[in-house]
Amino acid sequence: MAGFENAARGVLDEGRYVVLGTADAGGKPWVSPVFYTMNGYRELVWMSSPEALHSRNLAVRPEVSMVVFDSRVEVGGAFAVYMSGVAEEVSGEAVAEVAAAYGAAAVPKGGRLVRIEEVTGDGIYRMYRAAIREHWVLDPDSRPDGRAAVTL
């Protein structure tokens, strides 16, 4: 499993976009690519409009599924990290700390720093985070469903 775990860390460290899966109150699914940063390997952080469908979905159903992968590889050569967890809009005093950490991690990945006024008050964005409960990768030798849990 160490090989899978090292590969999973590499994908999460190098990735820029997570495919974020949410659902509305009735269970209708929606997926969105979202630029992200990691806080360790147990928390994924992003900035988004609270009016975006995925943000509105999170307000009523916080459970999420996520996947990060490199779509540039040859067919059959893809490696992905799948995750599930619970997401929330960051609020209160935590916003400034989360926004600063997100911005610092975003810059080396091609992102930018976040101004606090963008994600508070009348700002058009908010900070979100997902507490990751599970990570797994696909392994054809894993039974019964081909998923191999990894510990990061």
pLDDT per residue as tens, the chain (152 positions): 578 999 999 999 999 999 999 999 999 999 999 999 999 999 999 999 999 999 999 999 999 999 999 888 888 778 899 999 999 999 999 999 999 999 999 999 999 999 999 999 999 999 999 999 999 998 888 878 888 899 99
What is the three-class DSSP state of 15?
A: coil
69 burial (CB, 10 Å; 0-12 / 13-18 / 19+) is middle
The domain total for the chain is: 1
Q: What is the CATH number of the domain that holds 81?
A: 2.30.110.10
Domain containing 143: what range?
Answer: 2-150
Q: What's the pTM value of the predicted model, to 2 decimals?
A: 0.94
| DSSP designation for 93 | T
